[in-house]
Amino acid sequence: MECKIVEFTSKGDERGQLVALEQGREIPFPIKRVYYIYDTKTDVERGFHAHKQLEQVAVCVKGSCKFRLFDGIEKMTVELSTPEKGLHIKGMVWREMFDFSPDCVLMVVASLPYDEADYIRDYDKFLEMTKR
Ligand code: TYD
């Protein structure tokens, strides 16, 4: 599985904390887009898709949420609950996000602009594409 938790260095001082994400340092791809998911309603699950090319780093900058990941071989569940860690999602990976805390703000840094053509939303098609 080409997904892993990455740790960020927080520049904390007596005023509080600051994390910086830079292309080529914390983010290992050219940054083309940032979006965030928040105000997620109770028991909502999101995602349910894979991407052909997109690479992402997801950071729960507030609250917590969980990811279910599946690359066709290996399954993994990851909890994000600190702004000091991110989840790097790379390769053809089916992802589902769940257990959002009411205060969760999930920020995602992405390697490409939004493009519906890059999505695989059909689970059977995903299984077919990851079979070989
Ligand atoms: P959706 O793909 O359903 O989100 P998730 O994968 O988190 O469940 O996206 C919700 C809507 O937002 C959908 O109409 C597409 C749109 N959208 C954009 O316009 N730009 C983006 O960068 C993203 C991620 C989604």
Q: Which of 130, 121, 113 is nearest to 56 (CA)?
A: 113
Q: Is the pLDDT of residue 14 over 80?
A: yes
pLDDT of residue 80: 98
**Residue 37 CA, closest ligand 1 atom number:** 7
State which amino acid sits at residue 19. V
Q: Is there a catalytic annotation at residue 49? A: yes
Ligand 1 surroundings by CB, under 6 angstroms: 33, 35, 37, 46-47, 49, 114
Give the pLDDT of residue 104: 98
Q: Whose CA is nearest to atom 17 of ligand 1?
A: 114
Q: Which of 32, 49, 68, 85 is catalytic?
A: 49
In terms of pTM, does the model score above 0.85?
A: yes
Instruction: Name the 3-class secondary structure at 123.
Output: helix
The residues, ordered by sequence, that sit 6+ positions from 33 with a Cβ below 8 Å of its Cβ are 109, 110, 112, 113, 114
- With 80 as the cut, is the pLDDT of residue 132 above it? no
38-97: pLDDT as tens digits: 999 999 999 999 999 999 999 999 999 999 999 999 999 999 999 999 999 999 999 999
Q: What is the DSSP string of 56-114?
A: EEEEEEES-EEEEEE-SS-EEEEEE--TTEEEEE-SS-EEEEE---TT-EEEEEESS--
Query: Looking at ligand 1, which atom is closest to the CA of residue 35?
Result: 22
Q: Is the CA virtual torsion 4, 101, 33, 125 positive or negative?
A: positive
- pLDDT band with cut points at 50, 70 and 90 for residue 127: very high
| CA dihedral of 82, 75, 102, 51, whole degrees rounded to 10 | 90
Q: Return the ligand 1 atom nearest residue 113 CA.
A: 22
Q: What is the pLDDT of residue 32?
A: 98
**If pLDDT is split at 50, 70 and 90, which confidence band does 8 have?**
very high
